[in-house]
Amino acid sequence: MGSQGGFGQSKEFLDLIKSIGETRSKAEEDRIVLHEIETLKRRISEPDIPKRKMKEYIIRLVYVEMLGHDASFGYIHAVKMTHDDNLLLKRTGYLAVTLFLNEDHDLIILIVNTIQKDLKSDNYLVVCAALNAVCKLINEETIPAVLPQVVELLDHTKEAVRKKAIMALHRFYQKSPSSVSHLLSNFRKRLRDNDPGVMGATLCPLFDLITIDVNSYKDLVISFVSILKQVAERRLPKSYDYHQIPAPFIQIRLLKILGLLGIGDKQASGSMYTVIGDIIKKCDSSSNIGNAVLYESICCVSSIYPNPKLLEAAADLISRFLKSDSHNLKYMGIDALGQLIKISPEIAEKHQLAVIDCLEDPDDTLKRKTFELLYKMTMSSNVEVIVDRMIDYMISINDNHYKTYIASRCVELAEQFAPSNHWFIQTMNKVFEHAGDLVNVKVAHNLMRLIAEGFGEDAAAADSLLRSSAVESYLSIIGEPKLPSVFLQVICWVLGEYGTADGNYSASYITGKLCDVAEAYSNDETVKAYAVTALTKIYAFEITAGRKVDMLSECQSLVEELSASHSTDLQQRAYELLALTRLDVHAIESIMPPDASCEDIEIDKNLSFLNSYVQQSLENGAQPYIPENELAGTWNINNLRSQDQHEFSQHGLRFEAYELPKPPVQPTVSPPSLSSSTELVPVPEPSYLRESHQVSSATSVSDAGSSELKLRLDGVQRKWGKLKYSSPSSSTSSSTSQKPVIGVTQADVSSSVNSKPRDTYDSRKSHVDPEKQKLAASLFGGSSKTEKRPSSSHKTAKASGNAVDGSQEPKTAVVSNEVHVNKTYHEPPPDLLDLGEQTFSSSTSLDPFKQLEGLLDPSQVTSTRNHSVAAATKAPDIMAIYAETTSSAQTSSDGYSIPSSGDDMNLIFGFSNATTNISHGETTTVTPLSQSIKGPNLKDALQKDSMVRQMGVTPSTQNPNLFKDLLG
């Protein structure tokens, strides 16, 4: 390809880029860019600009826009440039418009015509450029304008065009499925395209289509399986190999599709088993891309109809991932584990320590993924530990998006698995306290409902216990400063409803607290409304119970203040309170029956009880009622209140009467709808109620995996008290897996895996602190009690351990699926693909194991490579290891790198001498990577440097990195 390092731009532009490169602050950069915008605005509108010049202006516009500034003044020029006949200019024009314009931009209509013309061009490059633009710019309305041509291009002679046409059609499908619904068969047809690139591209739309409608594509299972088989058998052209893996991107896509097609389909899944098994067996797990394919196979295995053999293989892969030193692989391992436990929950136990390690990892990403896994494996025996952990983490983070998410997860788990009322209330308190304002308001309403409904009829005692403990905890928490509004609403409601119910607290105590709340949060009207209504209820209950009511003075002043409030809602509540206290016992009892928040209200819609009254009025000469539909506007809510001796109001201007909430209505409504004015207190939608009843009672562990955030109240009732979820598997089986070398009943594979990576894994934390073990025990059902920790002699006997492993070498060679995680050590190199010099001697890692290894001679190091995995904590990324080279290189862990002053610890592409695919039981022919041929190309860098200097664009000293090769 040769170096394309020439900078075709003008000095002016280079200066601009350079000056921006040298800015030290965003403000400075903005200043320069704004100046540039002014210049461009002036220049671009000059008449008769040479086209070459114009092209540069357009590129400068792209640059300005890329830096986040508005270049819309020049869009039209970019559009014009697409009209140009010159392909060079046209391409620039297309590039600019695809970067500038979104599909809904007005200017697009000006381009459609050009696109139409270009799609018909006989130069396939023009067609390609136009298709690129089509993918970005064509919207639902303009699809018909280009659709016929795009469809025609599906049969173009050039595969690049066919490929892009497929992608364009896919895009159309995403934008407007109906517009291309008649063309979907084209995707099937293109699946058989001779060009692998076109076939690969076709998999994108097919994946989307199959996601939506699995059944119409079942017939393709055989085709997909055979394609995958061919790919795995290296039947595709060599150029599709990527790091020695045959067309991995296509494999991944196919595995995804098969995963969809095999869901719950025994027959379809049956035809996939062989090929998936082959892939798992063959795929090289020492490269990142190999692991990507393996990960996808795990996903596929766990989504199709289960096959014990494959599940075992998948479990094995997961343990390799988890034991890897690479955070990336651990992350994928945790993710894969989360998928697999849906089918075989018992495998989680084997990995308990690894999971806990991930949980305590400083890497937030890994931690979150682990919480996700824990969420999926929560059951009543470990819910306390898991939710506690989640809450701790929730408190420690600032990211509101994730805080909300994890809070809702906590609530969900607590509601589903809570072991006791007390714990449940405490947990909810914590969640509300720390994330109250982020929690969905429905959660609060649900909590109220839960406390109100309790466990149903047969557990009245438990109900009142729940309520008492709620009241108690709320009273203790109520004094804390700055509680979230939602939480206060719950507190007020519960105190109002049940504060005095168990007789532990006097009405004056509770009312005092409520007044405090109303005062402390005086600018939160919702809270005040809740507080006043709570007061009303407490007084009503007191009167009903025959006790004398002494309104506290602060209470009185609060009510007085609120009755003059600007908020009509508050005012109304205050007046209601006053009115209520003046009524007699019987009236109050019927208006506010104690503990009746869950009673259904019977509504007599016909108002038949008024019949006699109406009759009487008519006899007295009143006008008969004219129904609403006959006389619009006369309908008046007042007839609802005719008990109050109102005359029917005749006509009037009241088209919509406002409805005064009648006190008796209130307590009988379901708890959340305390307020009658919806804008203040959200009332749960009716559908919500239904939802909670739909929840199946038999929530299995896998069920918990459903990410839907719904509150399973039914589940709670059943779950509580009973330990329905025993730990998924007996602890005995897990103990074996924890022993490092001892023969395990699992497949031969695991024994070798045990003997090596597990060693390293365990040895790394040969002093697992008891805390962790305890945690493991509580998370995984006490299995760690029986587990034997590997002796601490590992640490000291490391060197000899190496030798032992070395002697085991032949054994591992037989074993399939061995972990080929190798690591090379580098000085922090500047370059990414490090070639040329060996830096084996430069392993200056601080890791103690590493140092120990330094004592060994290099040949020994190779034989103990798996140990180095554990030791490689200094190396940035295990995934960066690409490609094994010959076994002849086995004399040392060759790392190539160019020593440099760079402080940049980059991703290292070590050409590690790898296990040379022992796992395949075949010797791979050595295909040196293309990069390995290429030297570090210092010459190029120097050339570039001198060229830039000639142009006067001296890169400033502060950024010498600019010259560093991205890939060494």
User: In the window 11-70, what residues touch other proteins (CB under 8 A)?
Assistant: 14, 17, 20-21, 29, 59, 62-63, 65-70
- The CA distance from 65 to 71, in Å, is 6
CB of residue 482 to other proteins, shortest distance in Å:
27
Output DSSP code: residue 112.
Answer: H
Which CB sits closer to other proteins, 336 or 529?
336
Residues 291-310 that bind other proteins (CB under 8 A): 291-292, 295-296, 299
Which CB sits closer to other proteins, 149 or 536?
149
Question: Sign (positive/negative) of CA torsion 591, 594, 597, 602?
Answer: negative
Determine the 3-state secondary structure of 896 from DSSP.
strand
CB of residue 163 to other proteins, shortest distance in Å:
6
Residues 249-268 that bind other proteins (CB under 8 A): 249-250, 252, 256
Binding of other proteins by 409 (CB under 8 A): no
Binding of other proteins by 231 (CB under 8 A): no
- The CA distance from 870 to 394, in Å, is 31
Q: Where are the beta strands (DSSP E) in 851-914?
A: none
Which CB sits closer to other proteins, 136 or 789?
136
Instruction: Please count the other Cβ atoms lying within 10 Å of the Cβ belonging to residue 308.
Output: 8
Which CB sits closer to other proteins, 569 or 965?
965
Closest CA to 285 of 226, 328, 255, 256: 328
Binding of other proteins by 137 (CB under 8 A): no
Which CB sits closer to other proteins, 7 or 273?
7
Binding of other proteins by 440 (CB under 8 A): no
Closest CA to 879 of 929, 921, 839, 820: 820
Which CB sits closer to other proteins, 401 or 693?
401
CB of residue 301 to other proteins, shortest distance in Å:
14
851: amino acid identity, one letter: Q
- The CA distance from 331 to 928, in Å, is 30
Residue for token digits 């008492």?
A: 468
* Nearest-5° Cα angle at 554, 548 to 557: 100
- The CA distance from 853 to 622, in Å, is 106
Which CB sits closer to other proteins, 291 or 755?
291
Binding of other proteins by 965 (CB under 8 A): yes
Say if CB 930 and CB 882 are below 8 A apart: no
CB of residue 806 to other proteins, shortest distance in Å:
28
Which residues are CB-contacts of 237 (< 8 A; sequence separation ≥ 6)?
196
Which CB sits closer to other proteins, 164 or 434?
164
| Sole binder of other proteins in the list 143, 147, 167, 490 (CB under 8 A) | 167
Which CB sits closer to other proteins, 331 or 424?
331
Q: Which stretch binds other proteins (CB under 8 A): 75-83, 327-335, 488-496, 845-853?
A: 327-335
CB of residue 258 to other proteins, shortest distance in Å:
14
Which CB sits closer to other proteins, 541 or 761?
761
- The CA distance from 133 to 128, in Å, is 9
Binding of other proteins by 934 (CB under 8 A): yes
Q: Give the CB-side neighbour count of residue 148, counting CA atoms within 13 A.
A: 5
CB of residue 133 to other proteins, shortest distance in Å:
10
* Nearest-5° Cα angle at 963, 958 to 966: 120
Which residues are CB-contacts of 512 (< 8 A; sequence separation ≥ 6)?
552, 554, 555
| Sole binder of other proteins in the list 44, 61, 115, 128 (CB under 8 A) | 128
CB of residue 24 to other proteins, shortest distance in Å:
9
Residues 644-663 that bind other proteins (CB under 8 A): none
| Sole binder of other proteins in the list 184, 520, 610, 905 (CB under 8 A) | 905
Determine the 3-state secondary structure of 25 from DSSP.
coil
Q: Which stretch binds other proteins (CB under 8 A): 383-391, 449-457, 467-475, 897-905?
A: 897-905
CB of residue 253 to other proteins, shortest distance in Å:
8
Structure tokens at 268: 């379809």
- The CA distance from 205 to 177, in Å, is 11
Which CB sits closer to other proteins, 327 or 434?
327
Binding of other proteins by 7 (CB under 8 A): yes
Binding of other proteins by 962 (CB under 8 A): yes
Task: Give Cα separations from 338 to 289, 374, 378, 779, 841 (angstroms).
Answer: 21, 8, 11, 15, 41
CB of residue 837 to other proteins, shortest distance in Å:
16
SS (H, E, C) 800-840: HHHHHHHHCHHHHHHCCCCCCCCCCCCCCCCCCECCCCECH
Please report the DSSP string for 168-208 in residue order: HHHHHHHH-GGGGGGGTHHHHHHHT-SSHHHHHHHHHHHHH
Closest CA to 814 of 918, 893, 894: 918
Binding of other proteins by 328 (CB under 8 A): yes
* Nearest-5° Cα angle at 831, 825 to 832: 75
- The CA distance from 222 to 219, in Å, is 7
Residue for token digits 């002679």?
A: 157
Task: Give Cα separations from 860 to 67, 794, 873, 892 (angstroms).
Answer: 52, 18, 20, 8
CB of residue 365 to other proteins, shortest distance in Å:
5
Residues 785-844 that bind other proteins (CB under 8 A): 830-833
Binding of other proteins by 125 (CB under 8 A): yes
Which CB sits closer to other proteins, 593 or 955?
955
| Sole binder of other proteins in the list 46, 48, 85, 584 (CB under 8 A) | 85
Which CB sits closer to other proteins, 135 or 704?
135
Binding of other proteins by 1 (CB under 8 A): yes
Residue for token digits 């860019």?
A: 33
Binding of other proteins by 715 (CB under 8 A): no
Question: Sign (positive/negative) of CA torsion 187, 190, 191, 197?
Answer: negative
Question: Sign (positive/negative) of CA torsion 10, 15, 16, 18?
Answer: positive
Binding of other proteins by 99 (CB under 8 A): yes
Please report the DSSP string for 903-933 in residue order: ------B------TTGGGTSPPPP---HHHH
CB of residue 89 to other proteins, shortest distance in Å:
9
- The CA distance from 170 to 644, in Å, is 68
Show the site string, 849-888: x = touches other proteins by CB under 8 A, - = not: ------------------------x-xxx-x---------
| Sole binder of other proteins in the list 39, 132, 673, 886 (CB under 8 A) | 132
Residues 727-786 that bind other proteins (CB under 8 A): none
Say if CB 18 and CB 953 are below 8 A apart: yes
| Sole binder of other proteins in the list 2, 481, 621, 686 (CB under 8 A) | 2
Q: Which stretch binds other proteins (CB under 8 A): 240-248, 566-574, 774-782, 862-870?
A: 240-248
Residues 168-207 that bind other proteins (CB under 8 A): 168, 170-171, 174, 196-197, 200-201, 204
| Sole binder of other proteins in the list 91, 282, 323, 342 (CB under 8 A) | 91
Kindly state the number of chain residues that form the binding site for other proteins, as judged by CB under 8 A.
117
Show the site string, 369-408: x = touches other proteins by CB under 8 A, - = not: x-------------------------------xx------
| Sole binder of other proteins in the list 75, 331, 375, 424 (CB under 8 A) | 331
Determine the 3-state secondary structure of 942 from DSSP.
helix
CB of residue 66 to other proteins, shortest distance in Å:
6
| Sole binder of other proteins in the list 33, 77, 78, 92 (CB under 8 A) | 92
Say if CB 908 and CB 829 are below 8 A apart: yes
Q: Which stretch binds other proteins (CB under 8 A): 167-175, 346-354, 510-518, 617-625?
A: 167-175
Rg of the Cα atoms in the chain: 36
